[in-house]
Amino acid sequence: MEVYNKNRDKNNSMHDEIREQNAKLRDAPLKDKAAYFKEYYLKTTIAAVIVIALVGYLAYSILTAPSDTAFAAFFYNDIGDSSSTELIDGFTSYMNIDTKKHDAYIDATMNYYPDRNDYDIYMGLEKAMAVLSTGELDVIVGDTATIDYFTHCDCLHDITTVLPDDLLTQFGDRLYYAETGETKELVPVGVYVTDAPKLNQYYYHDDMETIMTFVVNSNSMDNAIAFLRYIYME
């Protein structure tokens, strides 16, 4: 027995209307077809294209992004050209780092002044702590106030435990000692690199001694040590 569908007439009417419209468009002039498309389908098509393009872009970015960070450094209170990439470009070339597969960067936009309490400095420290927590950051370069701050946070290596013997000999009289956060004892956490040729070529500090340090949870300590060697190459 046929069950009566009270929406059947309405459904048939909609179906018939669509079929009728398609029949009319089949023989309609091109401008009428274009007008019909614009009226009923253009917005939906544009939205679909945007969504597809966005998904494609995200997929491409994920698939082609560097798989990890081979080297990362924060340079504090630098008054050189913070947008310059010549130093990191030279280092990645020297180390044969494939920057299509591995990220490498120097962030020279960071600032820390203990006598200032402004928003940019606070946000910079928040950024530093976030990157430190990932193990991505390898090197911090800055003045004594900056290095003291990160030493108090127990973020820096005793440099005598990470440098090879030849570098300890080279920098033995240029170690920087700072008071640690827990024991308050003085520990050699950095080396003075004010006279590094490549550092002075691209970055510089005003009326201060520049200190280079190594982050305790660095994932790329070998590259960090190689960077110290590199900045002294003529």
Torsional class of 145: left (φ above 0), alpha (ψ -120 to 50), beta (otherwise): alpha
Cα-based distances in Å from 34 to 24, 41, 48, 61, 159:
13, 10, 18, 36, 72
| pLDDT band at residue 201 under the 50/70/90 scheme | confident
Cα-based distances in Å from 186 to 27, 75, 88, 159, 194:
90, 23, 32, 12, 21
Q: Residue 150 has what pLDDT?
A: 94
7-46: pLDDT as tens digits: 445 455 555 655 666 565 566 666 665 676 556 655 676 6
The CA distance from 19 to 25, in Å, is 10
Which SS3 state, helix, strand or coil, does residue 215 take?
strand
116-140: pLDDT as tens digits: 878 888 888 888 998 998 899 999 9
Q: Residue 5 has what pLDDT?
A: 46
Nearest partner of 160 among 150, 175, 148, 178, judged by Cα: 175
Token pair for residue 177? 């000692």
Sequence letter at residue 88: I
What is the pTM assigned to this prediction?
0.70
